[in-house]
């Protein structure tokens, strides 16, 4: 299947996924809106996992990470019967919408079609063999779905509260904006670097990548902490902080180690690793990595 046809196929799948989500919402006999949303989220994850299994390409799930939070917002707007879009709601909608569009666009730009699958999934498929469908569902689909659900949960009280604006709203919005901008510039620099054939096999060491080995991941972590801090004025349950904590642990404990293991055999990586912090750009604050 060509790249354009692959994109049309995936877009169609996600369009029908949204329609099915609306249909499921009317069928699930759960009164608690949080539990109902979780049930819908898991059901849609199962469906996209089945599609991935049928086309033998689990990379089509990757778009779910960037799409589902925005539709969670639509869900909360619907069930909360929000009467007015206050400043806090506007900040969330504007920055989450920008984050969702940017991440989705970046995925489509970098995806090579149904003939290509993420190298991590390919490796996992080889290692697990006949057990891959089970491992894939729980590890590649359900696990990230639950993480995104936890990270997005602090959005819920924002649509139920008319609490007065506090400094936490400005700080949360600033962090969300910073996270999005970090990801935009990091992705733009990486895209330009990879397009240059002279850089084949080289380690990027320009722009943001000169100060952090994973500025895109740093942006993602900062964004979700921003969402949580934006919700603080609404007095969310204490356990809602688990969302950004889990996102941070995901990148620090899984995503970054996997990426660095893949990069370790590239020329110059050891030197790059010594002079550039893994995540936080300490050099910008005058603290040099020893």
pLDDT band at 210 (very low <50, low <70, confident <90, very high): very high
Is there a single domain that holds both residue 99 and residue 168? no
pLDDT for the residue 194: 85
pLDDT digits (tens, 9 = 90+) for 84-126: 678 999 999 999 999 999 999 888 888 888 888 888 888 888 8
Residue 245 sits in the same domain as residue 265 = yes
Same-domain status, 84 and 197: no
Domain endpoint, select from 159, 176, 196 = 159
In which band, very low, low, confident or very high, does the pLDDT at 237 lie, cut at 50, 70 and 90? very high
Decide which of 133, 159, 185 is a domain's last residue.
159
- The pLDDT of residue 290 is 46
Task: Read off the pLDDT of residues 142-156 as tens digits, 9 standing for 90 and up.
Answer: 999 999 999 999 999
Mark whether 12 and 40 lie in a shared domain: yes
Same domain, residue pair 149 and 270: no
**Structurally, how many domains does the chain consist of?**
2
Query: Are 16 and 123 in the same domain?
Result: yes
| Domain with 111 in it | 1-159
What is the secondary structure of the chain as a DSSP string?
--HHHHHHHHHHHHHHHHHHHHHHHHH----SHHHHHHHHHHHHHHHHHHHHHHHT-GGGGHHHHHHHHHHHHHHHHHHHT-----HHHHHHHHHHHHHHHHHHHHHHHH---TT---HHHHHHHHHHGGGHHHHIIIIIIIHHHHHHHHHHGGGGGGGT--PPP-HHHHHHHHHHHHHHHHHHHHHHHHHHHHH-GGGTTPPP-SGGGGT-S-HHHHHHHHHHHHHHHHTGGG---GGGGHHHHHHHHHIIIIIHHHHHHHHTTSTTHHHHHHHS-SSS-GGGGT----
Give the global pTM. Answer: 0.90
Both 6 and 138 in a single domain? yes
Do 73 and 122 share a structural domain? Answer: yes
Q: Both 135 and 178 in a single domain?
A: no
* Whether 38 and 124 share a structural domain: yes
Verify that 136 and 228 share a domain, yes or no: no
Final residue belonging to a domain, choices 159, 187, 215: 159
258 shares a domain with 208: yes
What per-residue confidence (pLDDT) applies to 287?
53
């Amino acid at each position: 299947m060509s790249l354009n046809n692959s994109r049309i196929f995936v877009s169609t799948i996600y369009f029908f996924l949204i329609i099915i989500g609306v249909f499921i919402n009317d069928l699930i006999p759960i009164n608690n809106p949080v539990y109902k949303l979780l049930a819908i989220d898991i059901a849609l994850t199962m469906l996209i996992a089945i599609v991935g299994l049928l086309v033998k390409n689990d990379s089509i799930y990757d778009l779910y990470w960037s799409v589902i939070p925005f539709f969670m917002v639509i869900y909360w707007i619907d069930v909360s019967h929000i009467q007015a879009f206050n400043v806090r709601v506007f900040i969330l909608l504007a920055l989450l919408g920008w984050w969702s569009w940017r991440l989705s666009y970046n995925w489509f730009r970098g995806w090579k079609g149904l003939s290509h699958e993420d190298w991590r999934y390919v490796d996992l498929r080889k290692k697990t063999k006949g057990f891959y469908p089970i491992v894939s569902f729980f590890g590649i689909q359900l696990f990230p779905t639950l993480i995104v659900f936890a990270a997005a949960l602090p959005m819920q009280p924002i649509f139920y509260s008319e609490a007065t604006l506090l400094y936490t709203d400005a700080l949360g919005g600033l962090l969300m904006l910073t996270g999005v901008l970090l990801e935009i510039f990091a992705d733009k620099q990486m895209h330009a670097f990879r397009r240059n054939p002279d850089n084949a096999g080289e380690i990027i060491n320009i722009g943001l990548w000169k100060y952090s080995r994973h500025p895109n991941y740093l942006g993602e972590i900062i964004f979700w902490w921003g969402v949580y801090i934006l919700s603080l004025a609404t007095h969310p349950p204490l356990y809602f902080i688990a969302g950004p904590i889990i996102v941070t642990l995901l990148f620090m404990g899984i995503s970054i180690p996997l990426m660095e293991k893949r990069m370790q055999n590239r020329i110059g990586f050891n030197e790059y690793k010594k002079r550039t912090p893994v995540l936080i750009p300490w050099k910008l604050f005058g603290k040099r990595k020893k």
